Chains A and B, each alone.
Chain A
């Protein structure tokens, strides 16, 4: 859309908008074909009894919500341990148990991660401390994030093996009298996977939080320091409240990542899920339903449950991340009202800027 000086459309001008649609085609087609349609296919399967039994294929026959009901009801007696102490046996649904595993592993990895990352972000940006070699430390901390999770899982399986490095070092120091048996302890297995998760992600979180801290107006820190506020007060009263949006972002994206936990757990426990299936995660459950049990109905139901949870979480991320974009939309709406008198209402800020008829828009109108 091309406008003349008075904001009227020049007749017969090229319509550029069509190019916008043309350039969007590849993205949209790929998305529809490989994400959207498969998602609906998954939803579709979740309502059918559909599985492969040896060489026979059963179904698909309509089953309503029975796959979902089955997922919630299918249960196994589990014995719970707390560092070797037997707490008791309880029959709980598999889905519930795997959710519990996934959440436990995520929480045990996330708590140290957020504490260490916050600390690092504050340390690296502290002007009084002026720590040096920051480039080196950041490089080292971020490095594990790029390592193939499957390879990392395999590496740690070997490192924590009976005759592996950790076991032999601890033995030679006399800290333990018998070789480590990680693969027989429920909590040790979970803890090591959480630890791997921590090592892989704390660098990433640190960089995110640092970006947040550096985005805070430095003069606020300056005046606080001049007023004699201690580092701890500055952190509690200034850094934390202003970091809240990024904090929420980190929390929720990490949670979505936690739900996706698969590679490390799968390889570290050699697909078994560890002792008492204590490190059997939701994604491993989904994987085994698709690849091993070939029960597509139940796999569909599980996928849809996970879709619901992640959709809610990503909506929250969207809300916290895009106050800016929402503000832009409001601005456009607001400006559109001003443009009513003209034949063509430009719907972009860029075009408005190019063909602005009445001088700059006042700030009251630009506000959210």
Chain B
């Protein structure tokens, strides 16, 4: 884009026109940004206000002083194990992200480096099923887990992520563009085992793609609601989305707006911080890794 050639001199009227256009579009962009930021700002303000304040006056420009109180209410409610849920969510999301990234890379490695029978067929198959949502087989999955007596356990939320076609596709694209076959050949000649090549040469090369996918799978698993809601009913095993769903059905006399705002903040804010830290990297990965039509 840097090489783009424009007529060197713009006439005065064109300059004015451009200025007006810019002001107009910036206004549009800022309004749209406000639309995205307002809910978050409301959340941040309201999580510091007490229930009484919130129910008397819905909107406030500035923070209240009940942050500590709301925090205590949120984490010390015996009926709503937020602390445990936070721990469960962390375990499930981390394990899911690690497994997904490792095994998707391994699968991509198999497709990129080896030429075996049915390779094209298997690849086509994975591409075909890529977009089909997991929800359509949820019934079979849930009944299977019931037969295996694995309801209310965390592993059914983690292990199936070994097969994640979308992540595989992304990493496969990246590997195709970056891994020279000669490198694998050279390692073979030097006597490295096949798994050794994957661990010592391919995985380190794939770091950028894996980092992006780690974040996305972590977020996806953190936010996942449908499958956990079908599998988990015991308080001790619930993840954060389930706790949010349970807030309304819990004892109405203990319903406290400040507490609920705090709960929503607890489930959103950690991810937002991670996102803002890595946003440059994530946006770049999103734009580059997007469909290569």
Contact = CB atoms under 8 A, between A and B. Distances in A.
Contact of B241 (A137, A148, A199): A148
B62 interface: no
Contacts of A286: 135, 138-139
Contact of B287 (A27, A214, A221, A287): A214
A290 B142 contact: yes
A321 B115 contact: no
B141 A318 contact: no
A137 B132 contact: no
B1 interface: yes
Interface string A21-34: 11110111111011
Contacts of A91: none
B18 interface: yes
B32 A1 contact: no
Contact of B140 (A42, A144, A211, A267): A42
Contacts of A17: 114-117
A214 B4 CA distance: 13
A51 interface: no
A207 B212 CA distance: 15
Contact of A208 (B29, B257, B291): B291
B116 A215 contact: no
B186 interface: no
Given A154-B247, A159-B39, A214-B287, A290 B139 contact: yes
A135 B283 CA distance: 8
Interface residues of A, number: 127
B223 A123 contact: no
B18 A129 contact: yes
A41 B140 contact: yes
A138 B283 contact: yes
Contacts, number: 329
A21 B116 CA distance: 7
Interface stretch (A68-76, A82-90, A162-170): A162-170
Interface in A238-281: 245-246, 249, 252-253, 256, 259-260, 262-263, 266-267, 270-271
Interface string A128-140: 1101000111111
Contact of A266 (B1, B104, B245): B245
A108 B47 CA distance: 31
Interface string B116-130: 110110111001111
Nearest to B215: A146
B140 A39 contact: yes
B230 A325 contact: no
B26 interface: yes
A103 interface: no
A114 interface: no
B225 A262 contact: yes
Nearest to A155: B264
Given A127-B1, A199-B36, A290 B138 contact: yes
A129 B25 contact: yes
Interface stretch (A4-12, A181-189, A345-353, A358-366): A345-353
B109 interface: yes
B139 A296 contact: yes
Interface stretch (B64-72, B73-81, B203-211, B270-278): B270-278
B84 interface: no
A225 interface: yes
Nearest to B161: A30
A249 B291 contact: yes
Nearest to B110: A23
Given A150-B245, A163-B55, A291 B194 contact: no
A226 B119 contact: no
Interface in A290-328: 290-291, 296, 299-300, 303-304, 306-307, 310-311, 313-315, 317-318, 320-322, 324-325
A21 B140 CA distance: 27
Given A131-B29, A225-B6, A27 B103 contact: yes
A40 B59 CA distance: 51
A357 interface: no
Task: Point out which of B35, B113, B290 has the most chain A C-beta atoms below 10 A from its C-beta.
Answer: B290
A30 B162 contact: yes
A97 B123 CA distance: 38
Given A38-B137, A211-B291, A30 B36 contact: no
A141 interface: yes
A266 B245 CA distance: 9
Given A17-B114, A147-B271, A151-B264, A296 B143 contact: yes
A336 B57 CA distance: 75
28 contacts: A17-B117, A24-B122, A27-B168, A30-B163, A34-B163, A38-B137, A38-B140, A127-B6, A129-B21, A142-B286, A143-B40, A146-B219, A150-B241, A151-B240, A155-B43, A159-B39, A163-B56, A199-B36, A207-B283, A208-B291, A211-B288, A215-B293, A290-B138, A313-B131, A314-B129, A325-B123, A325-B124, A332-B120
Given A31-B163, A34-B141, 19 more contacts: A1-B115, A19-B194, A27-B107, A27-B168, A30-B103, A39-B140, A120-B32, A127-B1, A139-B276, A146-B219, A151-B267, A155-B42, A155-B268, A161-B58, A225-B6, A256-B131, A306-B133, A313-B131, A346-B115
When A and B form their complex, which 10 residue pairs have the shortest distance between CB atoms, in order from nearest?
A20-B114, A38-B140, A41-B140, A314-B131, A34-B160, A168-B58, A30-B162, A31-B163, A23-B110, A211-B290
